């Protein structure tokens, strides 16, 4: 009897597990493994993948241009994450402390850009930063920059637009953590003689640690793979790894070379991911893997 | 107790930062001027021009076909996945959770290139079908996470009560559990639909000739096309987005 119940339970578990498990194994796990395999394959004359194995791609990856691009990718992603966190912490703090009406309204205002078209938000900045756009004309009018300065097609423009697109992703998990934070603790700290800032940094920040880690993860990792933003508002001097991958696919049609770069990017993504997971696991073992945002 | 005003100031500045570019875009879309630099009065000229662009309508219909089909399939797969993750706490589910969670943090370009290589390796022709497969793949995780969130707040004693009153597994699932979870499943579906219709990076990698979607069309317009037309198109899309967000907020409020 008991055996039959456990068998039925197992069967039911499989029934609801296999559809997604099968789909993601076939179309997520296997394709990711293929990236590493194709890096050791030759190209054929039709832009496909040839037979046999080769180390040709690895030799190409020793291209002297690449270290600078990798470095720029890491620096841009790091700066994006830092700026997003610095802005998202006070915003999350403020939204969590607001009353019910304001909290819902502010949250909605943060979420709406998250739902609007990614390309359109980038395009909006291209319009603003354009030589004849609003910001450029305003800055020239105020004599802050000369008319010859270009606001578009440089690393600064890429950083600005990256912060703009990733900021909602940072605010949401920080807000979710701040909402659960017991703000009486801040009052207690002040009663015990802590300064307002001391209470903020030594009680509030450790209190929302999980939200902070999630925010860092969901900004830094996608930032490493940025491709459209440097493609539209950046120039040749602002390219990131993503641009190189896209060029190998769409311009030279060299798939093994593209997968070599992608394999490198996967490894670069795994480092911060595993670091944050290890950090979370060591702090609190009982809690689930990663707290879901909002 | 005196509070620092800094968080308030930063929050207000952030909202201005979020909405200023969108606002400028919407206003310029009604500008009669060809170059958008000088104001030549209100006009719907660019909207009329937009309606004449056959390629945009074709791209829109492609996008809708993919978004609707990908939403249906990913809602089914995502909901069953959420049930499994919520109901069973086995080693298999730990692996299942990792498999559902990882696509959420992987950069889009990596998912795009890996699917492209997969389709090339198995010799599948690129087109609407490969885009559909790719979209379901990234939508499953989002649907599963939204439904899982709802399941965690769900009172399962209601289902047990139905079973005590004689409802079988099937009846209690179809007539009690699913109707009560419908707002959550619908919210997941809405998210999947928006993500699918907006996706550019992954789609660009797995699209073939003749399978241009709206974001791919917008991208090539941004690269080579006329800015006033994109302004008008963007404004229309923003309007639709605001309506969808409003609807989803409505759903969330009713369920809570």
On the CB side of A113, CA atoms within 13 Å amount to 28
CA-based nearest distance B248→chain A, Å? 11
What is the per-residue pLDDT across A75-130, written as a single tens digit (0 to 9) for each? 999 999 999 999 999 999 999 999 889 998 998 888 887 778 889 999 999 888 88
- Joined tokens for residue A144: 């802050």
What residues in chain A have per-residue pLDDT under 50? 285-294
The pLDDT value recorded for residue B37 is: 60
Q: Which residues constitute the domain of residue A229?
A: 64-283
Put simply, whether B77 touches A (Cβ < 8 Å) is: yes
Backbone phi, then psi, for A43, in 5-degree steps? Answer: -85, 160
- Measured between alpha carbons, how far is A224 from A249 in angstroms, rounded to an integer? 18
Task: Determine the residue of chain B that is closest to A98 in CA distance.
Answer: B8
The CATH number given to whatever domain includes residue B242 is: 1.10.3720.10
- Measured between alpha carbons, how far is B48 from B50 in angstroms, rounded to an integer? 5
Q: Which of A34, A106, A132 is facing B11, going by the closest CB pair? A: A106
Put simply, whether B81 touches A (Cβ < 8 Å) is: yes
The CATH number given to whatever domain includes residue A172 is: 1.10.3720.10
What distances in angstroms separate CA B115 from CA A228, B39, B93, B121, B205, one per listed residue? Answer: 18, 46, 25, 10, 8
Put simply, whether B256 touches A (Cβ < 8 Å) is: no
Residue B176: how many other CB atoms lie within 10 Å: 18
With respect to residue A216, please indicate whether it lies within any of the assigned structural domains: yes
With respect to residue A249, please indicate whether it lies within any of the assigned structural domains: yes
Number of domains in chain A: 1
The pLDDT value recorded for residue B95 is: 92
With respect to residue B16, please indicate whether it lies within any of the assigned structural domains: no
With respect to residue A288, please indicate whether it lies within any of the assigned structural domains: no
- Give 10-residue mean pLDDT values along chain B (256 residues): 78 91 85 65 78 86 96 96 90 92 91 96 94 97 92 81 81 82 88 91 93 92 82 86 77 60
Rounded to 5, what percent of chain A is helix, strand, coil? 75, 0, 25
Task: Determine the residue of chain B that is closest to A20 in CA distance.
Answer: B77
- Contact between B75 and B189 under an 8 Å Cβ cutoff? The reply is yes
With respect to residue A14, please indicate whether it lies within any of the assigned structural domains: no
ipTM of the complex: 0.87
- pTM confidence score: 0.88
Report CB contact under 8 Å: B241, A116: yes
With respect to residue A196, please indicate whether it lies within any of the assigned structural domains: yes
What distances in angstroms separate CA A161 from CA A157, A172, B153, one per listed residue? Answer: 6, 18, 37
Tell me the residues of chain B between 118 and 157 that have a Cβ less than 8 Å away from chain A: 118, 120-121, 133-134, 136-137, 140, 144-145, 148-149
With respect to residue A294, please indicate whether it lies within any of the assigned structural domains: no
Q: Which of B20, B90, B121 is facing A34, going by the closest CB pair? A: B121
With respect to residue B57, please indicate whether it lies within any of the assigned structural domains: yes
The pLDDT value recorded for residue A262 is: 94
Put simply, whether B236 touches A (Cβ < 8 Å) is: no
The pLDDT value recorded for residue B105 is: 85
With respect to residue B100, please indicate whether it lies within any of the assigned structural domains: yes
Put simply, whether B178 touches A (Cβ < 8 Å) is: no
């Amino acid at each position: 009897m008991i055996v039959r119940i456990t068998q039925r339970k197992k069967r039911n578990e499989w029934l609801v597990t296999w559809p997604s498990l099968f789909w993601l194994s076939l179309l997520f796990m296997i394709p990711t493994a293929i990236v590493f395999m194709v890096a050791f394959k030759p190209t054929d004359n039709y832009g496909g993948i040839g037979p046999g194995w080769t180390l040709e791609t690895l030799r190409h990856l020793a291209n002297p241009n690449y270290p600078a691009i990798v470095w720029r990718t890491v620096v841009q992603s790091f700066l994006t994450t830092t700026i997003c966190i610095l802005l998202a912490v006070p915003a999350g703090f403020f939204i969590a402390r607001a009353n019910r009406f304001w909290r819902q309204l502010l949250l909605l205002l943060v979420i709406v850009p998250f739902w609007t078209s990614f390309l359109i938000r980038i395009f909006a900045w291209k319009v603003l930063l354009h030589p004849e756009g609003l910001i450029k004309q305003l800055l020239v009018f105020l004599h802050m920059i000369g008319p010859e300065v270009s606001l578009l097609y440089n690393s600064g423009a890429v950083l600005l637009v990256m912060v703009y697109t990733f900021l909602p992703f940072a605010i949401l998990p920080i807000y979710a953590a701040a909402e659960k934070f017991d703000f009486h603790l801040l009052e207690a700290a002040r009663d015990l003689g802590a300064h307002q800032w001391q209470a903020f940094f030594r009680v509030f920040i450790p209190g929302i640690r999980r939200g902070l880690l999630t925010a860092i993860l969901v900004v830094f990792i996608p930032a490493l793979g940025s491709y459209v933003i440097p493609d539209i508002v950046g120039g040749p001097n602002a390219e990131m790894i993503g641009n190189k991958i896209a060029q190998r696919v769409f311009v030279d049609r060299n798939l093994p070379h593209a997968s070599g770069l992608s394999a490198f990017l996967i490894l670069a993504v795994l480092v911060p991911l595993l670091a944050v997971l290890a950090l979370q696991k060591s702090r609190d073992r009982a809690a689930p893997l990663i707290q879901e945002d909002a | 107790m005196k509070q620092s005003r800094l968080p308030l100031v930063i929050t207000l500045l952030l909202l201005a930062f979020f909405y200023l570019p969108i606002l400028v875009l919407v206003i310029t879309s009604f500008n009669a001027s060809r170059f958008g630099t000088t104001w030549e009065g209100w006009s719907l000229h660019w909207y009329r021009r937009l309606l004449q662009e056959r390629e945009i309508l074709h791209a829109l219909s492609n996008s809708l076909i993919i978004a609707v089909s990908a939403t249906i399939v990913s809602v089914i797969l995502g909901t069953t996945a959420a049930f499994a993750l919520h109901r069973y706490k086995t080693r298999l589910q730990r692996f299942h959770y990792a498999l559902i969670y990882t696509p959420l943090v992987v950069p889009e370009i990596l998912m795009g290139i890996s699917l492209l290589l997969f389709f090339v390796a198995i010799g599948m022709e690129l087109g609407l079908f490969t885009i559909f497969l790719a979209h379901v793949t990234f939508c499953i995780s989002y649907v599963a996470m939204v439904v899982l969130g709802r399941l965690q707040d769900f009172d399962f004693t209601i289902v047990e009560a139905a079973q005590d009153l004689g409802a079988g597994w099937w009846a209690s699932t179809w007539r009690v559990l699913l109707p009560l979870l419908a707002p959550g499943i619908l919210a997941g579906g809405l998210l999947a639909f928006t993500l699918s219709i907006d996706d550019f990076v992954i789609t660009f990698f797995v699209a073939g000739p003749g399978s241009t979607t709206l974001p791919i069309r917008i991208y090539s317009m941004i690269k080579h096309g006329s800015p006033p037309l994109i302004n008008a198109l963007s404004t229309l899309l923003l309007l639709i987005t605001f309506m969808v967000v409003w609807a989803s907020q409505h759903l969330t409020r009713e369920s809570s």
